[in-house]
Structure 1
Amino acid sequence: MTQSPTSGPEILTFGEAMALFIAETSGDLADVERFQRRIAGADTNVAIGLSRLGFNVGWLSRIGDDSFGTFIRRTLEAEGLDCRHLNVDPEHPTGLMFKERAVGGTDPRTEYFRRGSAASHLTTEDAENVDFSALRHLHATGIPPAISASCRELSRHLLARARAAGASISFDPNLRPSLWESESVMRDTLNELAADADWVLPGLAEGRLLTGYETAYDIAGFYLDQGAKAVIIKLGPEGSYYRGTLGGQNEEVTVPGFPVAEVIDTVGAGDAFAVGTVSALLDGRSPQEAARRGNLIGSLAVQVLGDMEGLPSRARLDALEANAWSQP
């Protein structure tokens, strides 16, 4: 989809980007002296992944008037993101995140310094200049509505405006229970937002917590009854499950995952899965191909250090798919 430089991005993402510091050595963070600086944020991971695949992606957020905010903007712009909706907040700082160096494929411990951050003060006013007429797709997660009440209203506003404009919407619950005032508020809010989405992308454990159902079939059915066209559930190393009505008929399929010789860093795997599934559906691929691409890019993400370093370019993805699809 070709656009003029003045028109808005075809894909919009929003949320909080943080400066990330990854321990250079394993062990307790209290004992680590050296860190590598990167950026972190589930929403930016997806934005960067889609941008690397050639989509015109915009990022809506706030950063502090500080060196970490400058670093984030420069990094996102270097990845090709349209940052016209990334505003500087002179009164609040950019959020920070520290991550340990995990070993043996375990989930690394993380520590956040984001309370009162610039992004937590996002409001619907930050979306005033969004050109929804240019928007083809909105990707949303459950993290912004967990950060603050004003971010929650922004999430509702963006989903409603995108739907009214005829854009497709994907929604990844991305549960962060510690950020919510209660589990019931988290469940009700995220299910409300999911009801405005076309493609819902929960993990199996997330789906169980949000819907009260146990099986992937029933979890998918819950969101299909709310109006979703497709529910693609992450099953971890086992792959993913699709159930939906894309293509005009009811289908369900379980797609096996890709074997990984060594898991280096699990953080960002779910975001990589979203990059794969969303990009494939935007490319007009079948649901099964979308789930398989999600599995493929998810497997790449866990083999490198960092939240988004394993996300491929379009050329690399084409080569990997050509090889993977030729396998029996």
Structure 2
Amino acid sequence: MAASHDMVVSGVRPGKVLLVGESMGLFSAGEEGPCSEVGSFRASVAGAELNVAVGLERLGQHPVYMTRLGSDPIGDRIRCFMRQNDLDTSLVGTDASRSTGFMMKSKVERGDPKTYYFRKGSAASAISPSDIGSIDCAGISLMHMTGILPALSTSTMEASEALMDMSRANRIFISFDPNERPALWKSDGHMRRTLLSLCAKADLVLPGISEGRHLFGLDKVRDIGQAFIDNGARYAVVKDGPDGAYATDGHEGVYVPGFKVDAVVDTVGAGDGFAAGVLSALLEGRPLSEALERGCAIGAMQTQVVSDNEGLPTRAELDDFMARHERADVADGTIEPVLVSPD
């Protein structure tokens, strides 16, 4: 083990953050029980890339979010939500022939709720390479995308490839969260091949343990991180659930423990909060240990609410949470970030 914790990510510079994805209406059950039987639902807005954009904006960054919405009440709600959160809507298109996707989520006393998606043929599924070609890259320093966009349709698959190519051609740092959603893909093999190909084109990948297990058959964060590096990424950040997170560049790695919370309300959106925390810190020039710490804190905060993004904090709220909450107990007793060398 080395004494320094200052692994620094190269290639990230201050600037706008481009995100492209599907935003959806979210209807959360107001009481426990099957969605077919409960009497009330609470309406809000969701979408992985949109969640990250909200998180970045609240932390003082400058996200630019592209999507397509239907000409319907859910689409109107999403536009209103974006304006309320000071998000630029200039790249939000309207498709009068397609509906905005939505989802219903059950309420449970413990564990993960059941979520039902209604997104097939949605407006966002028609995002195409021509949409990507219309983006003005001036001032954009980082692009973040997830594995959800390429899974929606053939059109969005092609748009995802175009987004990667455009970013590389313009020397834009690429962040990619595999965010596996098996139900969206035509086969497991297609999902695996596509995600590995996109991960190989990224500067930074943000997988979880389950994705490391599925894509590489590995369970340990260090092994998973190295596997993503060997696959082509420059940096890998592996989410280790409530225990913490690990980052590596293939030469050295750093593990940071997570933050304790009394009880988890809902884990949905925690990974997006983690991404917003990590990326905001990197855009500020912070070392990876601080980026992981911020990501873990925001991920923990997001587990305290039912909505996919209401737990995303301002800088003051983040600082207060980190000052008041203890760190998780990990297997090796680590409390401070520890820099580790590969075996």
Please indicate, yes or no, whether the TM-score normalized by the shorter chain is above 0.5. yes
Are 1:293 and 2:294 counterparts?
yes
For 1:268, the equivalent position in structure 2 comes to 269
Secondary structure of the 2:298 match is helix
Cα deviations across residues 271-303 of structure 1 (Å, max 9, x unaligned)? 111111111111111111111111110110001
Cα deviations across residues 127-160 of structure 1 (Å, max 9, x unaligned)? 2321113211100100011111110111111111
Q: What residue identity is the alignment partner of 1:192?
A: S
Say whether the 8 Å CA contact 1:24–1:35 is kept in structure 2.
Answer: yes
For 2:3, the equivalent position in structure 1 comes to none
Cα deviations across residues 199-234 of structure 1 (Å, max 9, x unaligned)? 100001111211233332222112212332221111
For 1:146, the equivalent position in structure 2 comes to 151
Alpha-carbon distance between aligned partners in 2 of 1:320 and 1:29, rounded to the nearest angstrom: 33
For 2:183, the equivalent position in structure 1 comes to 178
For 1:133, the equivalent position in structure 2 comes to 138
Say whether the 8 Å CA contact 1:85–1:127 is kept in structure 2.
Answer: no
For 1:102, the equivalent position in structure 2 comes to 108
Greater RCO, 1 or 2 (C-alpha within 8 Å, sep 6+): 2
The share of aligned pairs that are identical, in percent, is: 44
Assess, with a 3 A threshold, how the Cα gap between structure 1 residues 322 and 239 changes in structure 2: closer, same or farther: same
User: Offset at 1:324?
Assistant: 6.0
Q: Which of residues 199, 202, 215 in structure 1 aligns to 2:204?
A: 199
Higher helix share: 1
Alpha-carbon distance between aligned partners in 2 of 1:102 and 1:169, rounded to the nearest angstrom: 36
Secondary structure of the 1:82 match is coil
For 2:47, the equivalent position in structure 1 comes to 41
Q: What residue identity is the alignment partner of 1:12?
A: L
Are 1:240 and 2:245 counterparts?
yes
Q: What residue identity is the alignment partner of 1:109?
A: K
Aligned pairs, number: 315
Alpha-carbon distance between aligned partners in 1 of 2:286 and 2:240, rounded to the nearest angstrom: 21
For 2:8, the equivalent position in structure 1 comes to none
Larger mean CA deviation between 224-233 and 135-144 belongs to 224-233
For 1:6, the equivalent position in structure 2 comes to none
Q: Which of residues 184, 193, 201 in structure 2 aligns to 1:188?
A: 193
Say whether the 8 Å CA contact 1:15–1:61 is kept in structure 2.
Answer: yes
Say whether the 8 Å CA contact 1:102–1:265 is kept in structure 2.
Answer: no
Gaps of 5+ in 1: 1-8
Larger mean CA deviation between 15-24 and 224-233 belongs to 224-233
For 1:119, the equivalent position in structure 2 comes to 124
Say whether the 8 Å CA contact 2:237–2:245 is kept in structure 1.
Answer: yes
Q: What residue identity is the alignment partner of 2:280?
A: S
- Pairwise CA RMSD: 1.8
For 1:20, the equivalent position in structure 2 comes to 26
Alpha-carbon distance between aligned partners in 1 of 2:243 and 2:62, rounded to the nearest angstrom: 32
For 2:258, the equivalent position in structure 1 comes to 257
Secondary structure of the 1:312 match is coil
Alpha-carbon distance between aligned partners in 2 of 1:322 and 1:112, rounded to the nearest angstrom: 38
Alpha-carbon distance between aligned partners in 1 of 2:220 and 2:65, rounded to the nearest angstrom: 35
Alpha-carbon distance between aligned partners in 2 of 1:265 and 1:147, rounded to the nearest angstrom: 25
Secondary structure of the 2:91 match is strand
Assess, with a 3 A threshold, how the Cα gap between structure 1 residues 166 and 325 changes in structure 2: closer, same or farther: farther
Q: What residue identity is the alignment partner of 1:177?
A: P
For 1:32, the equivalent position in structure 2 comes to 38
Alpha-carbon distance between aligned partners in 2 of 1:97 and 1:324, rounded to the nearest angstrom: 33
Alpha-carbon distance between aligned partners in 2 of 1:318 and 1:262, rounded to the nearest angstrom: 20
Q: What residue identity is the alignment partner of 2:21?
A: G
Q: How does 1:271-282 map to 2 (within 5 A)?
A: 271-282=272-283
Q: Which of residues 167, 170, 185 in structure 2 aligns to 1:165?
A: 170
For 2:340, the equivalent position in structure 1 comes to none
Say whether the 8 Å CA contact 2:260–2:325 is kept in structure 1.
Answer: no
Say whether the 8 Å CA contact 2:260–2:326 is kept in structure 1.
Answer: no
